[in-house]
Structure 1
């Protein structure tokens, strides 16, 4: 595999990349991760089976999409490739440190600018993505309530049910979500889509964010997920709101936006996420009565 990695990097850098050091830095939920070095340019390598190449290509395309906005900082993509038995994604390597309040404040401004970037009248994306290991459909829709209730909540509920996690009548829950969002037709924003503290780190006094699950949707989805488990520092939200204030009614919509991520985590990790998801669904149905 490493010969294939060297060849892809040679095409990227214009000279043969001779790997002098390599260190296994992480074996996570899905992929192995390595940092390799030729003595000049360290590279971060995600590795998995050959059948994961399309997933790596999708991640590379999302990082490129975010990079083109010139707003948030993301790793540069060096290439995607495969060997006889492995596929890999090659990214810019960083020396990360814990995020500071000052850097997160700047990140709040950058995210607001991302959410202000570009113009489209529809919700979705030209290709489907993944949230963690779970497929995320992005078929274009004109109606936000329909898009989110069906392609986010409904889709995730069905995946959970197939894994023997039954949260109730799927059609009933979809209808409740659609009712909650019925009067909300936000300007579509390009979302990071997987924005929580685990996917942000500081490098050279700036925040770098990674592992996206992009699509064009309601920018409140990114903010809602950032608040769910371990909220970002207050300075982040202050700068975001100063640059691009949220619309009235966010606190009511936040429940269903966070529910999507709870369903995803319930499916992947079970445990306390399942009980918390049930609480959110119960609250949604009760409030909609």
Structure 2
């Protein structure tokens, strides 16, 4: 689907409103991926604040990420020597939305929240603690064999971390008090420390990083 799909407008977005759980995506057509993702991430920051209450440090970090890290990491992506093109993604591809056909045994997916995006956006959810059944390296490696990393390849994991902010905040906004809010903030701190240091936010804590520490999904804050 990622390789064969073609955006009808050659832009990122979708022609009708789609949702991740109960939360709508801002899917207005946009020719620039960094601009589209900045708008998408901003929507999740605002929804999280509305559901969970204000958090000044998170808002400061989010503003810095959207203004500085998003254009830095997403502003000039390419694939096979050409600028990335919009790919149709499922939009909520985690283990509870994947199954097999009872009659044929063929794999099937459902409960999509699709839009045309950078294809790497699809698998950022596998970084989230609630989607760890698709988190093992074997799934990621199998995907990347079919659709190799965009350039610069050395920043693939940082892009994946950046994209996962949307997923973690989406979870937080739908279930206030779960730890994904702190995980999202921690991811912002990591990216800021690495690419654009800023005062007034916390330090990256590897114990709040699901790729480093085994965090139990049931933890609430």
Pick the TM interval, shorter chain. 0.7 to 0.9
Query: Which residue is 2:115 aligned to?
Result: 215
* 2:76 counterpart residue number: 183
C-alpha RMSD over aligned residues: 1.9
> Quick one: distance in 2 between partners of 1:153 and 1:267?
12
Match of 1:251 among 157, 170, 176: 157
- After superposition, give the CA deviation of every residue in 1:47-102 in whole Å (9 maximum; x if it has no partner): xxxxxxxxxxxxxxxxxxxxxxxxxxxxxxxxxxxxxxxxxxxxxxxxxxxxxxxx
Choose the corresponding residue for 1:224, options 100, 121, 124.
124
TM-aligned CA deviation for residue 238 of structure 1: 4.1
Aligned to 2:167: 261
Give, in angstroms, the shift of residue 165 of structure 1: 4.4
In structure 1, what is the Cα distance between the partners aligned to 2:54 and 2:114? 26
- Cα distance change of structure 1 residues 168 and 239 upon mapping to structure 2, 3 Å threshold: closer
1:139 is aligned, of 28, 31, 34, to: 28
Contact 1:200 1:210 (8 Å CA) reproduced: yes
Cα deviations by residue, 1:110-137 (Å, 9 ceiling, x for unpaired): xxxx101232321000111111011111
Alignment-derived partner of residue 199 in structure 1: 97
**Contact in 2 for aligned 1:266/1:277 (Cα 8 Å):** no
Matches within 5 A, 1:13-162: 114-120=1-7, 121-150=10-39, 152-162=40-50
- TM-score if structure 1 supplies the norm length? 0.56
User: What is the TM-score with the length of structure 2 in the denominator?
Assistant: 0.72
Find the structure with the greater CA-based Rg. Answer: 1
Residue of structure 2 in register with 1:242 after alignment:
145
Over residues 140-159 of structure 1, what are the superposed CA-to-partner deviations in whole Å (9 max), with x where a residue is unaligned? 00110010011x11111111
Instruction: Name the structure where strand makes up a greater proportion of residues.
Output: 1
Contact 2:94 2:126 in 1 (8 A): yes
Q: Deviations over 1:185-210 (max 9, x none)?
A: 52110000001112111234222111
Count of residue correspondences: 175
Structure 1 pair 242/154, CA: closer, same or farther in 2 (3 Å)? same
Give unmatched runs, 5+ long, in structure 1: 1-113
Instruction: Name the SS of the counterpart of 1:216 in structure 2.
Output: strand
For 2:47 and 2:139, how far apart are their aligned partners in 1?
Answer: 33
Q: Indicate the SS of the match to 2:107.
A: strand
